[in-house]
Structure 1
């Protein structure tokens, strides 16, 4: 694995790979890697000849009262994990390399950014869209791999790529969970033992909603009420939002019928904000029932 900090050096290296007709895939991360990130690398290696992983804690996607300064970092550990998993290039630019001057250009995606985490974290997705655009321009990947852990982010990046005719295919990858159901997240390290135990209520609430849907419940409001009720049994849980939206448009859903629907939630345990979700696919499920 080759570690690179310079945009110029990375571009030159990848130009050489493209001249050999190598297909390049990008796995963008903020580091403090876990098995969720590694699953993206695995998918990238199945799809591409060359895998580029970026590790960059992007300051412009953090709000003024968020955890930029304390966001977990361990580049030595991350380097070992990336190398062992078969990453070809590890791009670890500094903030001054990515933003050498005050940024006067921002990429804004409207509509799909305005609900869910976009409502709770104003400006966050402008920062995400801007840095992802920069990474796409630097790496020029044929494919980019994003985890469905942040399903709204995936929808936003797909919208941006479509709208701006970016020559990259976005590959959404499934959420990876601990054995007890907690979705893997770099921020899980913030949780104390009791918060970690109570955080299992998130996947439990989602599973109960999925069971209710499978049992015939198609009302989004009824499923939301069920999720809130389950989460409310955890005394440390402070709900930011529970939403059910059509996916990937993120328009409001009243009755679940005929298209994919996202069940998404964000809940705080102490100072730690966790997100989780699942996507229901009514068309596929109804087709499977019909086939039987």
Structure 2
């Protein structure tokens, strides 16, 4: 199909190329061969009379015209997907669509098991894909690669609707045999202990809000262990004089089974407000509305 002499199928290829800025990755996303994707780029260049992507070292860079096309092309495809491709009816008992949630390690631990059980009772054929939070979750949402974000309030994308899920604060965790911290945890103790913290592949701050807060107040912790998970941090202080600062729900769950003690953090950390967010063009999708309500209900029981 053509509109104003443009093959509309090329818009999908253009979106992938503008997003990936790499012909091989765009080809994988489009389920096309590299030669076919290169051919699509050639036709797009001819139509727009612009190179669109130009080599710069080992990367492809967007021209100014290409930068101007990023948001409009994404917007057009999202509108098509949500107004034409979306099903007007939704039956939980028979629905088998795949829904993608962008979640942190923390969310996977405290919310997702309850949610999955709730969904299974009413929509057993529904398929859920959990993805780790990326460095720019707002871009993943914009590109339509996730149906929902579960994310702290300060990282919400400003142009999309959201709903509050629950609040959370933090506790410090030490081994019960810690030789430094025995009766109380002082601020000096907190700074003197070696710290166990979570770090992630994309240096993602979303799951380490305590670290963001500490650095913002110029409090330097001596980090001795880094791990790619939040939920395992309490077990990593056992047998040492180290300390971990984790979400209260994670700390209390760990305390029930591990030889650890929990303490209120000497530097008071603001409460975290966990939010649910979805794309503005999908607000009228009955499936999105139904799952949104189920997530909010599951969060109320957390």
Using structure 2 for the length normalisation, give the TM-score.
0.25
Report which structure shows greater RCO (CA 8 Å, sep ≥6). 2
Larger radius of gyration: 2
TM-score for the superposition, normalised by structure 1: 0.26
